[in-house]
């Protein structure tokens, strides 16, 4: 049995999935002063009467780290930067404890000059005096050569709760993002650790040995041990839970699709390319920090089932604010949901009151009520269409770097749409008409997020670089920096990359028979120096993102 928990802003949803079917579900309000107990109560309820050895794993989408950042309940972080020459980023959104050291590394990872020891010892004293809890040390091009970060971390290890080294965060290049992500990691480290330890203790007390996984923003999971080391990976997993849940509930489809999650206030949009979620190009942003954290691309538009409908200067306006429920469900203001009720597409408790309000507003612009109700729905659907088109234009403009890719013109062209949310079913025929595509709406939408959390699988991405001139192989994500010979080639590099991914997956407890690895990008460049030609080899590999088995419909 798999337990999936989704902690949202106000509620926690949980499901128990057994042999691909939902066997239990639960909803509880979040106690914002005690996330651990909110979650633990849910888990206990779901596991009531279940044999301990039948529990396969427990998977959580939590807002513990996200809320710590957004609400600024974070550790006091000291940041040590080796910027070297180049752009002068200010980093003024970090703590006041930001210190610079001298020295630099170039784009190949060749050290140009070193920091001096006196600088670090002075910084240590300052940080201790300022009661810094955790530290982030980050160098420019540290993924290519992490020596500075390692030296500094070694020196400071005993004095602070956590030292986050920039090169361990991601193998990608982008110094400012490395700084921000490392900072956030150090900032939420203690909060997340306390939460994780509470979970571990509680499970131990109950004698449950099932592993715990935490959902990430890319729709994959990370095991609890990994999340404790890299808690920043657990931020903003809500949209991922929703997308993964929708993918599970919808019919399997490996074409390009657009998915809509229509809530009360907003509608979230996601895209699938050949059935695989589209990611944010560089990483997600949180509280003004641009990070390396890989995330599912999602965008939100201020239109929902409860959006405020009114006439302004003779013109129909919908949203973006929500005032209340729909009148049809006991609210005070007219909404798109009321229009759907009027048109007979939805049943509601207060249909009479709702109809009365709609007819009154229709009079203001001399429209027949049916006509006015259709106007509301058409405007709603048209805005959704425009948002889809604008978002696609943005996504499809993302840069490519090879002739092959440019000529292939792999732009996303959705063939169908999936919708979840309260008004999904009622809206589907109008959306179909506006978008000129088939629209699918699954049942069970209210537990989509919890299902997403339950069925997500671990993901790992690594960036390998082999430089036969410097005779160095590096995989920052798995901490590999080792010597290679002159004859190292692309074939070896690809094999190694897949092995590194597999190893990382196994460390997370995925059995190797279900673990699917793949090469995302691979290239080998000739480096010509005089008569010698060395190789600069780059390989990106990952565990294929995906979902555990799920059977629709049956309960």
Which residues lie near other proteins (CB under 8 A)? 85-90, 104, 106-108, 110, 112, 140-141, 172-177, 282, 290, 397, 399-404, 406-407, 523, 525-528, 533, 536
CB distance 262 to 387 below 8 Å: no
| Region for residue 313 given its phi and psi (left: phi exceeds 0; alpha: psi -120 to 50; beta: otherwise) | left
**What is each CA distance from 56 to 2, 16, 515, in whole angstroms?**
6, 11, 16
DSSP 305-352: TTEEEEEETTEEEEEEEE-SSBGGGT-SB--HHHHHHHTTSS--TTHH
Residue 338 vs 461, nearer CB to other proteins = 461
If one counts every other C-beta atom within 10 angstroms of the C-beta of residue 412, the result is 16
Q: Are 30 and 13 in contact (CB under 8 A)?
A: no
User: How far separated are the first and last CA of the chain, in Å rounded?
Assistant: 14
Shortest CB 215 distance to other proteins, Å: 26
| Pairing verdict, β 134-139 and 162-165 | parallel
Identify which of residues 401 and 487 has a Cβ nearer to other proteins in the complex: 401
**Shortest distance, position 378 Cβ to other proteins, whole Å:** 32
Q: Which is nearer to other proteins, 185 or 444 (by Cβ)?
A: 185
* Shortest spacing between CB 544 and other proteins, in angstroms: 24
Minimal distance, residue 477 CB to other proteins, in Å: 17
Residue with Cβ nearer other proteins (176 or 287): 176
Shortest Å distance, C-beta 150 to other proteins: 19
Minimum separation from the CB atom of position 457 to other proteins (A)? 29
Question: Nearer to other proteins by C-beta: 170 or 307?
Answer: 170
Whether residue 343 is preceded by a cis peptide bond, meaning omega within 30 degrees of 0, is: no
Q: How far is the CB of 339 from other proteins (least distance, A)?
A: 38
The token pair at 472 is: 């160095």
Per the listing, tokens 């509680």 go with: 202
Pick the closer one to other proteins by CB: 283 or 422: 283
Cβ nearer to other proteins, comparing 195 with 488:
488
CA distances (Å), origin 370, targets 153, 384, 451:
69, 21, 38
């Amino acid at each position: 049995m798999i337990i999936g928990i989704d902690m949202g802003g106000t509620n926690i949803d949980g499901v128990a999935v057994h042999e691909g079917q939902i066997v239990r579900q639960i909803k509880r309000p979040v106690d914002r002063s005690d996330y651990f107990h909110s979650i633990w109560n849910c888990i206990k309820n779901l596991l009531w009467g279940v044999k301990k050895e039948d529990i396969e794993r427990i998977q959580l989408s939590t807002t513990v780290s996200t809320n710590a950042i957004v609400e600024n309940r974070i550790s006091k972080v000291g940041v040590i930067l080796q910027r070297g020459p180049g752009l002068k980023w200010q980093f003024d959104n970090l703590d006041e404890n930001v210190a610079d050291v001298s020295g630099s590394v170039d784009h190949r990872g060749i050290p140009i000059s070193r920091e001096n020891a006196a600088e670090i010892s002075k910084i240590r004293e300052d940080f201790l005096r300022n009661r810094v809890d955790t530290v982030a040390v980050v160098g420019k091009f540290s993924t290519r050569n992490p020596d500075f970060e390692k030296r500094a971390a070694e020196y400071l290890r005993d004095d602070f709760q956590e030292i986050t080294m920039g090169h361990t965060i991601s193998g990608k290049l982008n110094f400012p993002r490395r700084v921000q992500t490392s900072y956030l990691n150090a900032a939420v480290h203690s909060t997340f650790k306390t939460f994780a330890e509470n979970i571990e203790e509680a499970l131990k007390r109950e004698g449950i040995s099932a592993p715990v996984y935490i959902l990430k923003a890319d729709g994959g999971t990370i095991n609890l041990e990994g999340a404790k080391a890299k808690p920043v990976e657990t931020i903003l997993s809500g949209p991922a839970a929703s997308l993964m849940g929708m993918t599970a509930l919808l019919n399997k489809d490996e074409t390009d699709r657009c998915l809509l999650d229509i809530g009360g206030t907003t509608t979230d949009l996601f895209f699938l390319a050949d059935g695989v979620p589209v990611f944010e190009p560089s990483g997600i942003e949180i509280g003004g920090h641009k990070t390396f954290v890989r995330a599912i691309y999602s965008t939100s538009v201020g239109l929902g089932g409860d959006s405020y409908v009114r006439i302004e200067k003779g013109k129909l306006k919908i949203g973006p604010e929500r005032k209340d429920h729909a009148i049809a469900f006991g609210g005070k203001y007219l909404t798109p949901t009321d229009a759907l009720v009027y048109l007979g597409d939805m049943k509601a408790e207060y249909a009479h009151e709702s109809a009365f309000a709609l007819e009154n507003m229709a009079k203001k612009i001399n429209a027949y009520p049916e006509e006015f109700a259709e106007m509301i729905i058409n405007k709603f659907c048209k805005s959704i269409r425009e948002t889809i088109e604008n978002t696609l234009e943005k996504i499809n403009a993302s840069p490519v770097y090879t002739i092959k890719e440019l000529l292939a013109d792999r732009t996303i062209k959705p063939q169908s749409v999936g919708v979840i949310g309260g008004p999904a079913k009622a809206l589907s025929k109008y959306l179909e008409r506006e978008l000129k595509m088939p629209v699918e709406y699954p049942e069970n939408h209210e537990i989509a997020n919890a299902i997403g959390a339950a069925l997500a699988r671990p993901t790992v991405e690594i960036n390998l670089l082999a430089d036969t001139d410097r005779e160095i192989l590096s995989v920052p994500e798995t901490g590999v920096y080792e010597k290679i010979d002159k004859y190292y080639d692309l074939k070896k590099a690809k094999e190694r990359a897949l092995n590194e991914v597999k190893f990382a997956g196994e460390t997370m407890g995925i059995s190797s028979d279900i673990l699917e690895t793949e090469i995302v990008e691979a290239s080998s460049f000739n480096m010509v120096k005089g008569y010698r030609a060395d190789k600069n080899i780059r390989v990106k590999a990952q565990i294929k993102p995906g979902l555990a088995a799920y059977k629709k419909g049956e309960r």
